[in-house]
Each structure stands twice: as C-alpha cells, then as structure tokens.
C-alpha cells in the first residue's frame, strides 16, 4: 500500500539486477499503472523513484 494525493493505492514492486518494476491500482480498481525501467545508469545520483511517483500520481489521480 502507498498513499498518493488522491488516496490509498495498492500494488507491488520488484525487479532483478538492473531492472525495476512497480504496478499499482486504486482501491476501486478504476485505474492501474505499471512502470518498468532500467537502472543501469553511470550517474551515481540517478534515481527514477521521483519520476515514477509523478507518473503514478498522474495515472492514478486523474483530475
């Protein structure tokens, strides 16, 4: 479970070395999003987490 500005979402994340996946949906099942990305960056400060949060919020909390 996680909390977005529009409420609680349910899902799961995981991956293997170099790859990450998160998949979440709203409690009513009306909206669902899955995001996959590679984390083979040469930039030690690269973090896809904030961008994934923005994408999830956009997909799961439509205006």
CB of 9 closer than 8 Å to CB of 24: yes
pLDDT at 42: 65
44: pLDDT strictly greater than 90: no
Residue 8: predicted pLDDT: 94
Whether residue 63 is contained in a domain is answered as yes
Question: Can you give the pTM of this predicted structure?
Answer: 0.76
Token digits of residue 31:
């909206």
Q: Are strands 2-4 and 19-26 parallel, antiparallel or unpaired?
A: unpaired
pLDDT higher than threshold 80 for residue 54:
yes
Residue 38 has pLDDT above 90, yes or no: no
Domain extent at residue 55: 25-35+49-63
Would the pLDDT of 41 be above 90?
Answer: no
- For residue 27, what are the CA distances in angstroms to 5, 23, 24, 47, 53? 14, 13, 10, 27, 17
Q: Is residue 56 part of a domain?
A: yes
Could you give the number of structural domains in the chain? 1
């Amino acid at each position: 479970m996680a909390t977005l500005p529009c409420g609680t979402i349910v899902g799961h994340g995981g991956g293997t070395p170099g790859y990450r996946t998160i998949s979440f949906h709203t409690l009513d099942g009306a909206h669902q999003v899955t995001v996959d990305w590679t984390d083979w960056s040469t930039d030690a400060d690269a973090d896809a987490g904030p961008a994934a949060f923005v994408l999830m919020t956009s997909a799961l909390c439509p205006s």
